[in-house]
């Protein structure tokens, strides 16, 4: 990688993409972001292009002018997946096809953002070559994982044709800048509730576990995926610090110093038919360590302290203080 490398980050106005853009700038890259929605979180010295990855001509023109492509643009989140699966699938597949076709034509390395969702109901800890297990198609929550899976196959297919491509599977990334969705983003949801003194809503019994990855760690691992050793590989990006959601709620209450109550809400009252909870989500991280030479550095409590501070500062800014 030279000092003058040019990187294109699709979805770079979003949560993880904006941190990847910052990381690339810090490493001396010129960075262009292609995103259909450019709102808050503008990173200075990044060039922003407002447009869609579903626009093949635009994608081709941008890919041709860059050395590397970080393809993060996607519709995601449980709510989107459950309420608009067709739009999600069309957007994500079309965008990925456009990126891979253009990158293949011009010989540009691609890092593709996949998800721990692809492991479905498999048996944790999840290793990259494990068998995968999903529920029936009528349970729409599996549509997002299935789309990501097809996109992974596309990446590997273009890899067979000589394209240098790496698939990274993120495990529950959190940190400053993450949006709170009505059905997703458990960390921002709990922090907002805790800071507002409102009930902290835990879905189900709260014994489902997750491994939360601090966004700076995820961004660094993503940029390291440019290494040739990672070409044609699929790599989990996550930590092995596993925590039940109830314990997460308690930790956030502690970190914020909040007097909020923690309340449990049955899944059926929150999600329409078609949702299935994943009881445990834990990555194997050996490949990330060996191929990317990276292990996450930010323990959960430390990451939460930084994230809470960001929400406090942001709320103050929003209130014009």
The residues carrying an active-site annotation are 144
**In this chain, which of 7, 8, 9, 13 binds ligand NAD, going by CB under 6 A?**
13
282 scored as a contact of ligand NAD (CB under 6 A): no
Residue showing the smallest CB distance to ligand NAD in the complex: 14
52 scored as a contact of ligand NAD (CB under 6 A): yes
Question: Of 201, 78, 220, 200, which is closest to residue 140 (Cα–Cα)?
Answer: 78
Minimal distance in Å, beta carbon 288 to ligand NAD? 14
40 scored as a contact of ligand NAD (CB under 6 A): no
Contact (CB, 8 A) for 103 and 110: yes
Total residues contacting ligand NAD by CB under 6 A comes to 27
75 scored as a contact of ligand NAD (CB under 6 A): yes
Minimal distance in Å, beta carbon 232 to ligand NAD? 19
Look up tokens 């990274």; give the residue: 168
Minimal distance in Å, beta carbon 197 to ligand NAD? 27
Calculate helix-pair angle for 56-64, 85-106, nearest 10 degrees: 40
237 scored as a contact of ligand NAD (CB under 6 A): no
**In this chain, which of 46, 69, 76, 78 binds ligand NAD, going by CB under 6 A?**
76
Q: How many residues does the chain have?
A: 321
222 scored as a contact of ligand NAD (CB under 6 A): no
> Distance (Å, rounded) from C-alpha 17 to C-alpha 93?
18
User: Counting Cβ atoms within 10 Å, is residue 272 exposed (0-12), middle (13-18) or buried (19+)?
Assistant: exposed
Calculate helix-pair angle for 186-196, 300-318, nearest 10 degrees: 60
Minimal distance in Å, beta carbon 145 to ligand NAD? 10
Helices and strands, number each (H, E), in the chain: 11, 13
| Sites of contact with ligand NAD (CB under 6 A) | 10-11, 13-17, 34-37, 52-54, 72-76, 91, 95, 113, 115, 170, 172-173, 179
């Amino acid at each position: 990688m030279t000092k003058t490398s040019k990187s294109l980050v699709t979805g770079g106005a979003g949560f993880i993409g904006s941190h990847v853009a910052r990381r690339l700038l810090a490493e001396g890259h010129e960075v262009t972001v292609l995103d259909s929605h450019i709102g808050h979180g503008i990173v200075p010295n990044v060039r922003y292009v407002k447009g869609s990855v579903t626009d093949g001509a635009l994608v081709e023109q941008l890919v041709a002018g860059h050395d590397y492509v970080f393809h993060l643009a996607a519709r995601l989140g449980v709510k989107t997946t459950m309420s608009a699966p067709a739009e999600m699938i069309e957007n994500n597949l079309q965008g990925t096809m456009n990126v891979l076709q253009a990158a293949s034509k011009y010989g540009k390395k691609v890092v593709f953002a996949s998800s721990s969702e692809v492991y479905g109901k498999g048996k944790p800890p999840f290793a990259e070559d494990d068998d995968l297990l999903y529920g029936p198609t009528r349970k729409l929550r599996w549509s997002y994982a299935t789309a990501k899976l097809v996109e992974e196959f596309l990446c590997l297919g273009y890899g067979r044709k000589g394209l240098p491509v790496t698939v990274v599977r993120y495990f529950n990334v959190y940190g400053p800048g993450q949006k709170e969705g009505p059905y997703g983003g458990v960390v921002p949801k709990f922090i907002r509730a805790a800071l507002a003194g409102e009930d902290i809503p835990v879905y189900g019994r709260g014994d489902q576990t997750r491994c939360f990855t601090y966004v700076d760690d995820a961004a660094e691992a993503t940029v390291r995926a440019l290494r040739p050793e990672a070409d044609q590989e699929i790599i989990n990006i996550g930590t092995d610090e596993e925590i039940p959601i109830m314990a997460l709620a308690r930790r956030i209450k502690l970190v914020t110093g909040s007097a909020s109550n923690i309340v449990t809400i049955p899944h059926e009252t929150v999600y329409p038919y078609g949702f299935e909870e994943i009881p445990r989500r834990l990555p194997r991280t050996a490949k990330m360590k060996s191929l990317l030479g990276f292990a996450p550095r930010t323990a959960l409590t430390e990451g939460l302290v930084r994230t809470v501070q960001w929400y406090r500062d942001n709320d103050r800014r929003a209130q014009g203080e």
